[in-house]
Structure 1
Amino acid sequence: MSASRLSVFLFLAALATTLTGCDAIAGIFKAGAYTGIIAVFIVVALLFFIVSKMRGPRP
């Protein structure tokens, strides 16, 4: 892959990532603060659940 193609690919990947994040933040602000708080709580709970499953059972 040439350098120009790689730079275009990286630019498009960065653009796609940032636009998706901006749309998500805009949606949370439109929905309201309580919706944002609930969404953050759900994400943190999901991460905690995944990490606890990866560690395995505790004796």
Structure 2
Amino acid sequence: MKTFRLPLFFCLLLLTFSMSSCAAIADIFKAGAWTAVVGIFLVVLLLWWIVGKMRR
């Protein structure tokens, strides 16, 4: 289990530093409000899944 957490941590770290949050939000809202709602929902689900995997 510990071998799975380290690569997952590095993936999260890479995602954190690879894209500026302001640029991402600006691009999402340029696409439209419904796209933003769906995108935020998917990101929250992804984070929930990742935290669930790390706790097991």
Which TM bucket (shorter chain)?
0.5 to 0.7
In structure 1, the residue matched to 2:27 is: 27
In structure 2, the residue matched to 1:52 is: 52
Identical-residue share of aligned pairs (%) = 55
Gaps of 5+ in 2: 1-16
Q: TM-score, normalised by structure 1?
A: 0.54
Structure with bigger RCO (C-alpha 8 Å, 6+ apart):
2
Larger Cα Rg: Structure 1 or Structure 2?
Answer: 1
Aligned-pair CA distance for 1:26: 2.0
Gaps of 5+ in 1: 1-16
Aligned residues: 38
Give the letter aligned to residue 31 of structure 1: A
Give the letter aligned to residue 43 of structure 2: V
Deviations 1:25-47 (A, max 9, x none): 22112100000001101110011
